[in-house]
Amino acid sequence: MKQYVLAHQHTTPSPVHLGDRRGHLAAQPPQGAAVPPRRATSTPHPPPLPSDSEPALHPSPQRPVAVLGMPLPVEYEAVLSLLPGHTFTERTVRGTVFKLTELQGRHGAWTLALTMTGRQNEAAAVAVERAVAAFDPQVILLVGVAGGRRDAAVGDVIAATEVYGYEAGEDTDADYLSRIKTLQATHLLLQQAHQVDVEDAWRERLGPAGDGPRPRVHHRPIAAGSKVITGVRSGTAALIDRHCGDAQGIDMEGFGALAAAWRTGGVEAMVIRGVSDLLADKDKAADRHRQPRAARHAGAFALALVERLEPRGRPDGAPDGPAPEPEGARYIGAVGQGATAIIAAFGDGAHGTVNLDRATTDL
């Protein structure tokens, strides 16, 4: 029984083809040389392109992924406007579109995945589930606008410490018994959000100050449900006053997004909202200029938060970009009776060396 072990050490990078099982050493002839005719051989089909359901969609596996989900088109467009000069690629996961780009942070580069989740808690939960399945992100942030409560002003940012799901309850003949559900933002993001606020650099993305007051950042809870609340004396507003009194704002997607992130485990998640109205003063005409401004404020804070984070599992001082090739030779072998192997170098100037039973053949 003969045994063959082939060591292939590239002097220049070249692809390896193992489809031909005839045992010939194949090399690309010099440019301009005649190419002899080849006998037809049966080769396996190339692997299929990744489908929508396959998980590895981000451009570089060496970079961690941060997902920003925006429920409304105005919020999505506001975040895109904060990333001028960025090149985006597009991926679709079961119909949900993600735009991908690179974001340089303090501790390394991130793959940033932006998506429009749609309205309501259920839609936000579905988008988060798909993002987790497709990208295995380190961070998920729900970014957009909210109605303000307490001392909030239009344009302020709410870095939500908790999200109250205010709609659960028991409706009896005697009374309505509320059963408020609470989900917390992850501790790491709570801590880092405070630092982003203290450093105050997030406002630089907004450009010169406009005619509005300087926005503040509130580190307080928000309440989330399916209702659009346009009055401070409505039944839902009264319920929130009674059971979620410390909520700084109200939205319609925060609880669903955090619930989906919480169930996956291992992902940092938070809701960041810009205040676009104060419930009682909500009207469509005001929304046309308030919502884009509030969404930009929330987006600027969210991007600054991602930039401040340290990618998980990244060694201190490790360089950006693809992982370096391991030192030493690469071995491709065929062992056993009748075993054959083929190694090829393709492209202009491609060459290498194959050692076969101590006999050397130059490619």
Neighbours of 347 (CB within 10 A): 12
CATH number at residue 221: 3.40.50.1580
Residue 330 has pLDDT above 90, yes or no: no
Lowest pLDDT segment from 87-101, 105-119, 138-152, 278-292: 278-292
Looking at the 3D structure of the chain, how many domains does it have?
2
Residue 229 domain flag? yes
Long-range contacts of 102-107 (CB under 8 A, 24+ apart): 102/59, 102/63, 103/66, 103/303, 103/306, 103/307, 104/307, 105/306, 105/307, 105/308, 105/309, 105/311, 106/307, 106/308, 106/310, 107/309, 107/310, 107/311, 107/314
**pLDDT at position 57, please?**
43
Separation of alpha carbons 214 and 289, rounded Å: 16
Distance of CA 306 to the CA centre of its chain: 11
Same domain assignment for residues 304 and 334: no
| DSSP state at residue 8 | E
Residue 307: the pLDDT is: 97
Is the separation of the CB atoms in 253 and 119 below 8 Å?
A: yes
CB 254 within 8 A of CB 224: yes
Q: What gap in Å lies between CA 127 and CA 134, rounded to an integer?
A: 11
Q: Residue 318 CA to chain centroid, in angstroms?
A: 21
User: What is the mean predicted confidence (pLDDT) over 58-75?
Assistant: 85
For 135-193, write each residue's pLDDT tens digit: 999 999 999 999 999 999 999 999 999 999 998 888 888 888 889 999 999 999 999 99
Same structural domain, 14 and 78 = no
Tell me which residue range forms the domain holding 137. 65-308
Burial class, 14, CB count within 10 angstroms (exposed 0-12 / middle 13-18 / buried 19+)? buried
In a shared domain, residues 128 and 250 = yes
Classified as helix, coil or strand, 204 is helix
Mean pLDDT of 308-316: 72
pLDDT of 35 over the 50 cut? no
One domain, residues 133 and 233:
yes
pLDDT band at 77 (very low <50, low <70, confident <90, very high): very high
| pLDDT score for 62 | 72
Higher pLDDT among residues 103 and 175, named by residue:
103
DSSP H or E segment with residue 169: strand 169-171
Identify which of 308, 109, 297 has the alpha carbon closest to the alpha carbon of residue 189: 308
**Residue 54: inside a domain, yes or no?**
no
Structure confidence at residue 346 (pLDDT): 60
Residues 103 and 240 occupy one common structural domain: yes
Same domain membership, residue 183 and residue 128: yes
Residue 45 belongs to a domain: no
Quick check: is 58 in a domain?
no
- Does residue 26 have a pLDDT over 60? no
261 is written with which tokens?
């992130």
Residues 259, 126, single domain; the answer is yes
Beta bridge partners of 55: none
User: Which residues have CB under 8 Å from 2's CB, separation 6+?
Assistant: 337
| pLDDT, tens digit, 9 for 90 and up, residues 235-288 | 889 999 999 999 999 999 999 999 999 998 889 999 999 999 998 888 888 899
**Greater model confidence, 47 or 156:** 156
Same domain? 150 vs 218 = yes
Distance between CA atoms of 311 and 346, rounded to whole angstroms?
37
pLDDT at 306 over 60: yes
Report helix, strand or coil for 173.
Answer: coil
Residue 47 above 70 pLDDT? no
Same domain, 217 and 304: yes
**Do residue 8 and residue 150 come from a single domain?**
no
In a 3-state reduction of DSSP, which class is residue 181?
A: strand
**51 found inside a domain:** no
Residue 33: inside a domain: no
CA proximity to 65, closest of 129, 142, 134, 144: 134
Is 200 contained in some domain? yes
Specify if 322 maps to a domain.
no
What is the three-class DSSP state of 243?
helix
Are 298 and 335 in a shared domain? no
0.85 exceeded by the pTM? no
Do 236 and 227 meet the contact criterion of CB atoms below 8 Å apart? yes
Split at pLDDT 50, 70, 90, the class of 49 is very low
- Is residue 227 within 8 A of residue 238, CB to CB? The reply is no
Residues in the chain: 363
pLDDT digits (tens, 9 = 90+) for 189-236: 999 999 999 999 999 999 876 556 889 999 999 999 999 888 888 888
Question: 278, 308, 338 — which closes off a domain?
Answer: 308
74 and 181 part of one domain: yes
* Cα(103)–Cα(59) distance, integer angstroms: 12
Return the ∠ at Cα 309 (arms to 305 and 315), rounded to 5°.
165
